[in-house]
Amino acid sequence: MQAGYQAAAPSWSAGPGRMYEALARELLASAGLPVAGRTVLDLGSGTGAACRAALAAGARAVVPADLAPAMLRGCPPRAHPVAADARALPFADGCFDLVAAACCLGHLPDPGAGLREIRRVGGALAASSFAPGWTHPAKAAVDSVLASYGYRPPGWYAEFKQHAEPQAGDPDALAALAAAAGFGRVSVRAVTVATGLSTPAELAGWRLGLAHVVPFVRGLDPAARAALLRAAQAAVAGTGPLQVGMLVLTAC
């Protein structure tokens, strides 16, 4: 997984990054937890989508943390990025007022262990994951094009889709994991997020720029890459705009 995100980092902002920026803004807006003047940990930050949202909301300081150092290079200059494993964070107990985990828990082999670490270092949590059953026609369209070029999902992607993501995408399971981690007040609700992506180029860029796809696309020769991009854009024509079903977990 880490290698995939390392590879995806240089082009992330032009592809999936726009969707994740919208999801992070909605997470902090929907969580209803105070951000202004607070210290915030942006866990599984990638290029810092939640970091930017927290700073815009008046956070006093934000620390982005992610396993992929190349992704962290895209974080805002005001941030203080740290390469770290969510299951063993290099921070003192209770050193953050708020932990923002935007689309992070579904990537952890053990979401419960991640939540216990979050509880150790943070006073409150705002986390998001994709809502159960959510999909979009562009996803199946691009996946079909990729398959025609010989693409097969890497093992790590199949593993987390089968095990970790279903836990993070189940409202009852997610709430139970947060409670078991020691949070006293837990709430999970579903929201729909308008991402602003609608054109064929934007939708194809979202799917082709994801970490489990980029290494395959980069391995194609230039002519095949160009043909794949044209085919993906043709396949997603008329499927926009992209709206995402998202779960918002708040806990303190």
pTM here? 0.94
* Ramachandran class of 227: left when φ > 0, alpha when ψ lies in -120 to 50, beta otherwise: alpha
Give the span between the Cα atoms of 176 and 171, in whole angstroms.
Answer: 9
Cβ-based neighbours of 207, under 8 Å, separated by 6 or more: 138, 139, 142, 143, 213, 232, 236
Predicted pLDDT of residue 168: 79
Beta-carbon count within 10 A of 163 CB? 14
Predicted pLDDT of residue 188: 97
* Degrees, nearest 5: CA angle 225-229-235: 140
Give the span between the Cα atoms of 100 and 7, in whole angstroms.
Answer: 24
192 close to 245: Cβ distance less than 8 angstroms: yes
What are the per-10-residue average pLDDT scores of the chain (252 residues)? 86 94 97 96 97 97 96 92 95 98 91 95 97 95 98 87 76 95 95 98 98 96 98 97 97 96
Over the stretch 49-86, which tens digit does the pLDDT of each residue have? Answer: 999 999 999 999 999 999 999 999 999 988 989 999 99
Written as six digits, the tokens of 249 are: 């977990």
